Amino acid sequence: MTIEQEVSNGVYKIMDLQQKLSEGLFEEMNSLYSNDFQGWLYMPWVGEVEQYNADSIKEGNRLASEYYKGKDIQFVFTGLKIVPQSTDQATVSYEVVHQDKEQQVMVRALALEVWRKESDGSWKIIRWYEEKGMRT
């Protein structure tokens, strides 16, 4: 299997798990983050870049699953690009559109992730940056 195929399995898994936040599921998604994880998120309505480590991103996913539980949400992912950097690391980018049908809100974002093959052979996210657009 190529690096692109291996990494895409993890990326598609996390995309599927995003959809399941409304079911209150987050533990499996949290298992896809490396203990070395570092992340940054920009939301224009907050006006600053938020920084995350492994613990805070996992807690954020838990809180998101509580917030979205039972709500009619949808995440649409497009433009997936995987660029191998080495035999055990690849950069991933894609656009995501989040729709909260209940509040009639849509947010577009561009995500950049770095996935690394861990010592146990699993691929996990070690770095992430997401730039959100304005809510429409």
Instruction: Give the rounded percent of residues in the chain with a pLDDT score beyond 70.
Output: 99
Instruction: Please name the CATH architecture into which domain 3-132 falls.
Output: Roll (3.10)
* For range 71-75, the mean pLDDT: 85
What's the first-to-final CA gap in the chain, in angstroms?
40
Whether 73 has a pLDDT exceeding 90, the answer reads no
Name the residue with tokens 């989040």.
Answer: 98
The pTM (predicted TM-score) of the whole model is 0.91
Are the beta carbons of 123 and 12 closer than 8 angstroms?
A: no
